Structure 1
Amino acid sequence: MWEPIPSWAVKQILRDYGGEPHPDRVAEIGRHLWVPSGRPFHYSDHKRTVGEVSLMETDQSAFRSTTGRDVSEDGILSIGVVTSGQTQMGRSGRTAEVVPTGGAYVLRSWTEWTVEMSDETRGTVVRIPEHRLRERGIRVHPDRVRLDGAPSLAGPLSSFVSSVVRPSWQSTAVGEDVVERAVEDLVVGMLLETSGYAMDSEELRTGLCARAAGVISREHRSGDLTPAMVATLLGVSLRHLQRAHEQNGVTIAAVIAAERTRSAALLLVAPGAMTLTLSEIARRCGFGSTFELRNQFRSAYGVLPSQYRADAALASEGRALTS
C-alpha cells in the first residue's frame, strides 16, 4: 500500500534541490509523491553545478512519483545511472520500463512519467541542455527512456559524477571547465554506444558534427585551422560538413571560434599563465589577433578578456580568505 509522502519530506527534498518550501509548492508536489505504508522514508543527495551542467548523486528509500509534477525544465535532459536497486518508469498506455542496477535512462520531462522505486535505490543524474547534445550530433528519442543493455560508459560516468559532487572536491575555474567537458563527452559516448541510439542515414549526417568536434578540440590551437581543413581531415567535402552543421543551427566556423574562446578562458584564469599577455594567449589559442580574441570573448562571456581575468583573480582571493 502507498500513502502520501509526509510534508516534512517534501520540504527536505525542495531544500536539497535549492528550492523554497512554500506551502503551495509543498502541497502541489506532495500530491504526486507516495511512500510505502508503515515504512520510514529518507532521502539524501550530493550535487554540484558546473557551467550549464548539473550533477547529482542520490540515495533514497522506496517511493512512487506519479505524473503531473511541475518540476521539468524546457530543454533540459536528465541522464541517470542506477548504481543500486532498480527504477521502474512508465506512462499511460505504455508498458513500464525497468532500469536495473548498472542501467541508464534518459528523460526529457519528468512530468510525463510515473517513477517507482520499491526498495532502497542509489544513482547519479546528469542534467544537461539538450542543445549541447544536438551540437555533438546526438538525436534524443522522446519516446525512449531506458538505454538498452548496460552501456560500458555508464559506470565511468556514474563514478566520475560521484567523485565530483562530493564536498571533498575543491573546484577551480579550470577544473570546472574540464569537468563540464568530460561529463558531456561521457554522456555523448554512452548514447552513441547504445543500440537504441544508433544513427540512421539522417543521423549519420548530423553525427559528422561529433567527429568534427573531436578534430576541432585537438587542432583549434593552430591558427591554420579552417573549416576547409577540418573537412579535409575528416575526408568529406566542405559543403557536406557545412550542411551537417546547419542542421543543428550552427556553422563550422562558429564551432572553431567557440573552442578557441574556451581555451582562451582557461588560460586567462590558469595560475601558471597569469603572466601571459593577451597577444600571447590569442596566438596560443589559434586567434589571428587580439582584436579577434576580444570580439569573440565579449560575444561568448559578455566581458572583455582583461575583465574576465580580473574577476577570476578577485574570486580566487576571496576563496583563499575564507579557507
Structure 2
Amino acid sequence: MVNVTRLALAVLAGLASTAALAQDKPTLTIYTYDGFASEWGPGVPLKAGFEETCGCTVNWVAADSSIGTLRRVQLEGETTQADIIVGLDTAVAGEARATGLFADHGLALDNLALPNEWTDAQFVPVDYSHFAFMHDTDMMPEPPRSFEELIALPEDIKIAIQDPRSATPGLGLVLWVKAAYGDRAAEIWEGLRPHILTVTREWSESYSLFLDEEVDMVLSYTTSPAYHIIEDGDETIKAALFEEGHFPQIEVAGILKSSDQQELASQFLAYLASPDGQKVIPTTNWMFPVVDLGDELDPVFATLPQPEKTLTLPEEEITANSRAWIDEMLAAVQ
C-alpha cells in the first residue's frame, strides 16, 4: 500500500513538472495569409525548423490574404495577439509602417541576394518575384509582349486579374501599370477592359479559371511556371515578358511593438532570412529566395526567363497615391 502511494505521488509530481514546463514554453503568434500557413505552404516546415532550436511553440494565425492580416492588426491595434506578421509586401509596407505598430528588427541582413539593396529597418524580406501574365503555349504560342499588344488582341482573348483592394497581386498590377505608363494608366485600363473576364477577390480564384481554360491569361508571377514544371512535369505554362518591364513583389515580415516576445520574434526573423529558413521557400511558396542558396535551389528556377527591366515606385508615392490609383483602375474596368 505504501509503495502504491509513493508511486502515485511520483506520477503526480511528474505530471505537475511537465505542466510547469509546458507553461514556461513561450508561444510565438504569427499572422499570415492562408496559403503560407497551409499544409503545403512554407509555414509547416518553418515552424518545425524553428521549434527545433527555439524552445518555443510557433502558432500560425491565417487570414484570407496578406492585406487581410494588415487590416486585422489595424483593427486590433496595440491589443493584437500577433508577435509577427509574415507576408505583407513592399506595396503595403508604407501603409503598415504608418500605423506605428511595427518595431525595428535590429538585424544586419548582410547576406541578402535581392535585385536591389535592402535598407528597411522594420521589415525583413521573405521572398520575391515579378508580376506577369501566364499563358499556355499550346493555346497561345505567341503571347503579347506589352500591355499595348495585349490591348490590341481580339476581344475574345480574355484575362483574369485580382482585386487590388483584397489581393496583393491585384495591387501589384495597379502599380505595374502606373510605373510603366504614368499619366496614361487610365488609358491602358480602358484598353484592357474588354479583355478582363473577371476581377477575383484572391489569386487562387483567377488562377483556377486559367487552369480550367476559362481565360487565356492570368495575372501571377514569373516564378509560377516552376510549380508546373516541378510538380506536374508541364512546361507549357509560361510567363509573358513585357517590353516595358515588370513590377516586383517582395514579401516581408515585421515584428509588432506590442509583442512581449521581442527577442524570440527577432530570432524567428533571423531564421526566416537565413539559408536554413529560405531553402523551404522556393518549392512551397513558389518564389525566389532572398539569399543565395547555391546548389540547394532547384535548378528549374535558373531556367525561368526573367524581365530585363524592373520597374519601381517610391514607397512614399505608393502610400500617398495607391487608393487614388485603385479608384482609377476600378472606374476604368467596371
Tell me the TM-score normalised to structure 2 length.
0.22
Q: State the structure with bigger RCO (CA 8 A, min sep 6), 1 or 2.
A: 2
Tell me the TM-score normalised to structure 1 length.
0.22
